[in-house]
Amino acid sequence: MKKLSFILFVAGLMLFSTSCTKDQKVKKTSAISFEDIVLNDQGFFNGSDGSTGFTEGNFKFKINYSEEYLSWTGFAVTNNSDTITADYSNQYSSITGSGAGGTAQYAVLYTFASDTIELIKPAKITNIALSNTTLTYYTILNGNDYSKKFGGETGEDPDYFHLYLSVVTADGKQINFSSPIPLADYTFTDSNMDYISKTWEYYDLSDAGDIKYLIFSFDSSDKSVYGINTPAYVCIDNIVCEWEE
């Protein structure tokens, strides 16, 4: 598991924790894997039934579904496992072919700007699993009519696709993590080291302390005047949080 940290914030957090009498508090945990969300006949839930989101454990997720365009942004849930189809008909599959650890269901985030998970009870997130979708993976690998092939014709273009995380703490402060999560990195001097992530990666966000919101946004080297051209999706699974009462 990779532990993400903040700049400057960690020292203050440590100072706060030493002043608490932990023996007087009870630790509580909420762990979710999206297995209990009911899916449609196509194996996903994207708000097309009129829902504007869902709650799972200590977490609330928003969905924005457009009846006009039959499209969605926010957090969908899926059991799709197609690791081959590379076009937009396959928006709901992880490149791994399953949820984290081989489970059936997981969430998919798609956003034009940023989206947020709300924690009902402010808590530390001690684990979150992330992976690329099949659509994003093959778009980066091969390019398409809307997005470039990473590395360009020579394979040497310094391309990247990053997920950025930030939080709003329990006392209302928004703080960014000190580094992005690289979902694809073609910036190496040796192009043989370039990669697109195709596994579930696990992250510990507990250095942020108790948080109320976890915010996701993307950046890519492939941009136009309308924003990034790389399909802005990421799969999410096995979120664990803990707090004391």
Hey, where are the domains in the chain? Answer: 2-16+25-244
Q: What pLDDT score does 24 carry? A: 76
Structurally, what CATH architecture does the domain formed by 2-16+25-244 represent? Sandwich (2.60)
**Residue 133 exposed, middle or buried by CB count within 10 Å (0-12, 13-18, 19+):** buried
End-to-end CA distance of the chain: 26
Report, as an integer, the average pLDDT of 154-158.
96
| Mean residue pLDDT across the chain | 92
Q: What pLDDT score does 6 carry? A: 63
15, pLDDT greater than 70: no
Q: What pLDDT score does 8 carry? A: 37
9, pLDDT greater than 50: no
Q: What pLDDT score does 22 carry? A: 52
Q: What pLDDT score does 4 carry? A: 82
Q: What pLDDT score does 1 carry? A: 87
| CA–CA dist 30, 106 (Å, integer) | 16
